[in-house]
Every structure is written in structure tokens, then in C-alpha cells.
Chain A
Amino acid sequence: MEASLPIFAGVKPKTEAVPSAARPTAHAPSLTLPLRFMATGLIALSCGIAWLVAQPMILATYHYTPQAVAATHLFVLGWIATVIMGAMYQLAPVALETRLYSERLARWQFVFHVVGFAGMVWMFRVWNMPQVGHFACLLGVGFALFAYNIARTLWLAPKKTVAAWSMAAALFWICFTGVAGLSIAAGKCVYDDVDKFPVTSAVGALLHGLRAVGHFVSRFAPMGAMHAHAHLGLVGFILMLMVGISYKLIPMFILSEIQNARRAAWSIALLNIGLAGAFLSILLQNRWKPIFAVVIVSALILYGCELAAILRARKRRALDWGVRYFLAAILWLVAVSIIGLVLSWPGLRWTDFTGQLENVYGFIAVMGVVSFAIIGMLYKIAPFLVWFGVYSPHIGRARVPALADLYSPRLQAIGFWSFQAGIVAASAAILCQNEIGVRTGCGALAVSVGTLAANLGKMTCHYFRPRILPLQKSTL
């Protein structure tokens, strides 16, 4: 008896073979490219959490200190941006169904990025603003290379999807974030000797230009400028990509599809509109802040509705831990949105409590939302990269493990709950300015990062000891 194929007999597929040159993964970068970004990011995350455990006062006191600014840049640039950029080089071709424009540029960007962020963090810590500016320039070159590479990749994409538009917007915002950050650094430098250099010389033109930028930026309140810059990076680059890319990846992971493309597009559009307004209103510290906060929250509500609809329509019942991590991170957006709305209120008086509430807002946004979502996505990307490198050539010739066989779900569960406990404990302790509580909460985060490291170690073992078994004999 002939076996029946699952396709219904009435439909004849268009048997047009796809040439190998058009295959997306044929043009994906080599595995070492995203892996080096991820490894660097994980080192930065581990250093950052160890730093918070060692010096919990960074979070237990108001955040306008060299240590808090340095730690924030370590997490945001060293951990979050590094991993996102590495993942983008791997995911952009997948999400856009095209190929990466240039792997060589990406390798150069890695060098500029690592030297730039490491130097910036160190110089922020010792509050040497001219040196911060110098390292920020290196980082800016890296940003420019990244933006150019992904923009050219976007240009090659056959379809301009919601994910593509969100990536384009994120590229704009990351460049703007870099320019804003450099301008703030210029505003904090002293230009005593600038007049010794004639404005007609190259060095003189640069220094006079920087002084002019510095004078312009010094018109704004320092906290307003810093918060506006932070929102550009976190909302414009990181949240924008999280939302846009998840419209492609989450349906892929859970066997579902976008349920309402217009709603998805509106969520991206409102996020852009809200951020543009929020940036100006935070910078100018005017009364429009809550209006634009509401616009951003509306974008997130639309995103949440679409994500819920995608989940309801899924054909894969069980959600793996990677997806659960991501969804839990999205739930933390509710807390961040509520706190953001409260803090945007123009009549809010500044007290110790509201100051600490700002710390909680940033902490949950950076750790509870973004870091947890990235860890969830790492649990999807890292096993794939290992599997692809070790087992892909053997598929069809030998029995090879599935992605889920490369790591331990028990460790994932421990990591999930310890991270949640850590966020709750540390947030409460930050509000109460309790250093022991912050240290305990960050200790729980360290446990979670430890489970991630252990699981990544398990995956890496497959490079050295692959589990390849002979095919089972056919029963026919």
C-alpha cells in the first residue's frame, strides 16, 4: 500500500526549485560572528551583576553617580547592545529572507564596539568625560558600521515587512542615541585651551565645533538630557527591535502567524511617534510628557494584543522555556509602563521615594524586560548555532539530537524563577534603599546567569563530543 502524503490531492504545488544562491542561510554569516558578540555580551552581563552584588549602593542610591552611569552603560552597551547586534547579523537575514550585506564590516564593528564600550565604562567610572568622548567616538564608528550593514541588508530584502520597518526605525534611533550621547559628553567637557587653536585648522574646527555643541547641550537640564538619551536607546533601538523581530520569530517558534498586520504596523508607528515626542518633552521637561507616555503605552498595548492573538492561534501547544522567558519579560513591560506613566506626571514632586522609583523603572526595564527577553532569545539562537555548526551536515545520514536535547530544561526552570525572584527582591530593596536587599536580589540574578552559563557550557560540549548515532533501520 502506498503511503499517503499529507498534502491534499487537489492542489498541485508549483514545483519551482529554489536556486541555492537564493537560500537565506546560504548567505548567513559564519557562526563565529554572532558567537563572539554573544560571548562578549555574557562576559559584560556577568561583570555587571558581580559589580551590583559587590556594590549594591549603585542601585540603592539615586542614579546620578559615576558608578551608576558606568554600570548602566556596561549593561546597555556591553551586554544588551552587543548581544542584539550579534543576533541581528544572524537574524536579519532570516527575518528579512535575504543575506547579510557584509560580514567583513561586522567583524570591524565588533572591534570598534568592544574597545568603545569598555573604554567608556571605565572612563565613566572615573568620570573622565574627555576620555568618555574619545571612546564614544570609537563606539560611534561601530554604530555607523552596524547601521550601514543592516541598512544595506534591509535594502536587499524582497519584502518590506513590519519587522523590516522596525529594524529601519531602530537603525535611525541608534544613530540618534549615539549623537545625543556624544553631545551630552561634549557638554560636560571643559574647553579652556580651545582658543589657542585657530578655527581654520582641522583640530581647531573640531574643538570649536565641540564647544558649540557643548554650549548648546548645556542649555538643557542635565537629568533631562540624560533621561532623554536613555529613552532613545532603550525604546528606540532595543524595544523597537524586540517588538518588530518578535512579530517574525514568535510565530515561527510556536507555529502561528501574525493575526492582524495592521495592528502590528500601528504598534510600530505609535512607538516611533511616542518616542519622538517623549524625547523632546523629557529633554525640555515640559508638560507634554504624559501625553507621549500614553502614546508609547498605547503602542505596547497594541503589541500585547497582537502577541496574545498570535499565542491563541498557535498550533504548538507547549511553550518551551525560551519562549516563556520572552513572554515573562513582556509581562514586566506592564510594570514599567505603569511606573513610566506615574513618573511622567508633571506635578510629581521629587522626593527620595520618587528618585528611587526612577531607579526601579530603569532596573526593571533593563533587567526584567530587556535582559530577560534576550536570555529567552539566546535559548533559541545559541542551540541553533551550535546545532547548525555541529549536526547540520549529518542530518539525513545519521541520527542527530534535536535542539531541545542540547540543554537542560531543569536549569532553565531554575534560571527562570531565580531571575523573577531577583527582580522582585531587588526592586523592593531599591525602593527602600536597602543595600542588603539589593545584594540579595542581584545574587538571585547571578544564580540565574549561572544556570544560563551552565546550559551554554552543555551546548558547547557538543562541539567537542558530538552525539551522532547511526540511522535506525527501516521497518519496511
Chain B
Amino acid sequence: MNTPLTQTEILETLRQVIDPEVGCNIVDLGLVYSASCQDGKAVVTMTLTTQGCPMHESLCGGAQNALLTLPGVTEAEVQLVWEPPWNPSMMTEDGRAIVGTQY
């Protein structure tokens, strides 16, 4: 029997999804708000840097693709939310370094 996936494992997989405009993965960019997996169904709640982002489909579809590569995951759902809106303080230290964020 598979052991349940931890949030760390899910996030590590989602780090493979890179926003091609800024060159940073969606986790370190702070776009992922929550991630969980239960009974083979992975659910991720995420946002985008701006509404109407042209990368909308690519990033959501990419997150879904990445989740389906996890062992034991048979179903993946990506929920896109706009509240709270993304802001750069949500980025990790690694994300800030990649993007070259300034405060």
C-alpha cells in the first residue's frame, strides 16, 4: 500500500512547473496556496501573478500534469483563485533570487 503523499512531496513536484515569463517555478513564485492529496486525488489551490495572465492555461495545465506524475495519484484538480491576490511577498527566498525581486 502506498504511503500518503506529504505536502512537501507535492510541492517538490510542482516545482517542475516553471512560469516561462519570469523563469521561476510556481511554488517559489508563491502561486500555490494549498496542496493536499487524499485517496489518490491531489488538489492544488493556486493563483496567477495577474488576472488575465496569458500563461493561464499553461500553468494550470502544467500543475495538473505534474500532479499526475506523482505515485498513487489518479486524479488531479487545480483550483484557480484570485483571493487573496498574489503579491511578491508571497515568494520564497529562492523565488526572489531567481526573479531578482526588489523591495
Contacts and interface: CB of A to CB of B under 8 A. Distances in A.
A387 B62 CA distance: 13
Contact of B16 (A24, A391, A472, A476): A472
Contact of A392 (B32, B57, B84, B103): B57
A314 interface: yes
A94 B32 contact: no
Interface core residue of B6, B20, B63 (most chain A CB under 10 Å) = B20
Contacts of A395: 17-18, 20, 58-59, 61-62, 65
Given A6-B92, A395-B61, A13 B8 contact: no
Interface residues of A, number: 53
A255 B48 CA distance: 11
Contact of A7 (B6, B17, B33, B101): B33
B63 to A, nearest CB: 6
A402 interface: yes
Interface residues of B, number: 61
B23 A404 contact: yes
Contacts of B47: 13
A202 interface: no
Interface in A368-426: 384, 387-388, 391-393, 395-397, 399-404
Nearest to A393: B61
B81 A14 contact: yes
A397 B69 contact: yes
B75 interface: no
Contacts of B60: 23
A402 to B, nearest CB: 4
Chain B contact residues: over half helix, strand or loop, or mixed?
mixed
Contacts of A13: 33-34, 45, 47, 81, 83-84
Nearest to A395: B62
A96 B54 CA distance: 11
Contacts of B3: none
A315 interface: yes
B57 A7 contact: no
Contacts, number: 151
B9 A476 contact: yes
B35 interface: yes
B8 to A, nearest CB: 4
A14 B83 CA distance: 6
B54 A315 contact: no
A120 to B, nearest CB: 33
Interface in B4-63: 6-9, 11-13, 16-18, 20-23, 27-28, 30, 32-35, 45, 47, 49-63
B73 interface: no
B2 interface: no
Nearest to A315: B88
A5 B34 contact: yes
A351 interface: no
B20 A401 contact: yes
Interface string A46-80: 00000000000000000000000000000000000
B20 A387 contact: yes
Contact of B22 (A7, A18, A316): A316
Nearest to B60: A23
B30 A6 contact: yes
A192 interface: no
Nearest to B14: A396
Contacts of B50: 251-252
A21 interface: no
Nearest to A403: B20
Contact of A471 (B16, B32, B63, B88): B16
Nearest to B54: A94
Contacts of B34: 5, 7, 13, 15
By Cβ-Cβ distance, the 6 closest A-B pairs, closest first, are A396-B65, A395-B62, A396-B62, A396-B66, A6-B30, A97-B52
Interface of A: 1-3, 5-7, 11, 13-18, 23-26, 28, 93-97, 248, 251-253, 255, 314-318, 384, 387-388, 391-393, 395-397, 399-404, 471-472, 474-476
Given A2-B6, A392-B61, A396-B62, 4 more contacts: A3-B11, A5-B33, A6-B30, A396-B66
24 contacts: A2-B8, A3-B8, A3-B11, A5-B7, A6-B92, A13-B83, A17-B77, A17-B78, A23-B56, A24-B52, A25-B58, A26-B57, A95-B52, A392-B62, A395-B17, A395-B20, A395-B59, A396-B16, A396-B17, A402-B23, A403-B21, A471-B69, A474-B12, A475-B12
Interface of B: 6-9, 11-13, 16-18, 20-23, 27-28, 30, 32-35, 45, 47, 49-67, 69, 77-84, 88, 90-92, 95, 99-103
